[in-house]
Amino acid sequence: MDLPDLPLLTLLAGGALVAGWIDAVVGGGGLVLIPLLLIAFPQAAPAVALGTNKLTAVWGTATAAVLYLRRVRVDRRLLAIGVPIAGVAAVGGALAASAVSSDVMRPFVIVVMVCVGVFVTLRPQFGATQESTTPVSRPRFVVALCVLAVIGFYDGVFGPGTGMFLIITLTALLHQSYLQSSAMAKVANSATNLGALAVFATQGHVLWLLGVILAVANVVGSVLGSRLVLGRGTAIVRYALLVVVVVMAVKLSYDQFS
């Protein structure tokens, strides 16, 4: 499939940059780029937009992961064990995606997002703790592995809100700051993006040249977003979470009932 003309390519690159910024701050950049890809290629299967978005996003998310890990302490055991589990689970989710209806997933995700928004609003100190240096206990470590597997599978099947769900659940489970959870979320999300990308690639649902071009813009946005979060700390993550919850809930509700 040929590249779009220059004005449309510029629009897609701008969308990729914004998506990279959003993903680096809290997650949810696919809400920007996927609709643009669907508009740019109306005759292509929706899986092409999803696969090309994964190719674009994996570079920006991986860049954010590297920048976060340089500044933020995370549990190295989760990095070594949990992240590969999340990636493998995403492969399984992507393979199962055709058997799971989006119409079934959306209502569940909308309800969860609203609950997350209410919880974060009513608990302003949640995630605002200082960086935790306490090792994760064995029971919490096992539960964290299960959480990473479940969310990884979800990212492969459906996807919206993966970064946000990782941040919230890891913060609650491990009693750590938003910043630490964001660092782990970026690494795990890189693995889930890569796992899902592998499936889309084998199915021929990736526009490689376009994805590489958009990846450059995505990385730029990721660097800008990462620097903002690392400079401003947990407060900016909390506000971004609330904004993303509202936007995603509205967007998914529109998709469900339109």
Per the listing, tokens 């499939």 go with 1
Least confident range of 122-126, 128-132, 213-217: 128-132
Name the range with the highest mean pLDDT among 127-136, 191-200, 239-248. Answer: 191-200
Alpha helices in 75-137 (DSSP H): 76-77, 83-96, 102-122
Q: Per-domain residue ranges for the chain?
A: 6-257
What Cα–Cα distance (Å) separates residue 238 from each residue in 67, 124, 167? 19, 8, 10
| Cα end-to-end span (Å), the chain | 30
What Cα–Cα distance (Å) separates residue 74 from each residue in 61, 217, 229, 252? 17, 28, 16, 32
| CA–CA–CA angle 108, 112, 114 (5° rounding) | 120
Using DSSP's 3-state secondary structure scheme, residue 42 falls into: coil
DSSP state of 101: -
Name, in order, each residue with C-beta under 8 angstroms of 226's C-beta and a sequence gap of 6 or more: 24, 63, 64, 67, 68
Q: Is the pLDDT of residue 213 over 80?
A: yes
Token pair for 150: 């479940």
Query: pLDDT band for position 156 (50/70/90)?
Result: confident
Query: pLDDT band for position 238 (50/70/90)?
Result: confident
Q: Is the pLDDT of residue 130 over 70?
A: no
Query: pLDDT band for position 222 (50/70/90)?
Result: very high
Q: Are 30 and 66 a contacting pair, CB within 8 Å?
A: no
Q: Are 211 and 8 a contacting pair, CB within 8 Å?
A: no
Per the listing, tokens 């809930």 go with 249
pLDDT tens, position by position, 70-92? 999 888 888 999 999 999 999 99
d(CA 166, CA 185): 5
Q: Are 136 and 144 a contacting pair, CB within 8 Å?
A: yes
Predicted local distance difference test score (pLDDT) of residue 26? 85
d(CA 70, CA 67): 5
Q: Are 37 and 52 a contacting pair, CB within 8 Å?
A: yes
What Cα–Cα distance (Å) separates residue 252 from each residue in 22, 90, 115, 241, 246? 17, 21, 15, 16, 10
d(CA 131, CA 176): 6
Q: Is the dihedral of CA 71, 73, 77, 78 positive or negative?
A: negative
Per the listing, tokens 């993903």 go with 23
pLDDT tens, position by position, 23-68? 998 888 888 888 899 888 888 888 888 899 999 999 999 999 999 9
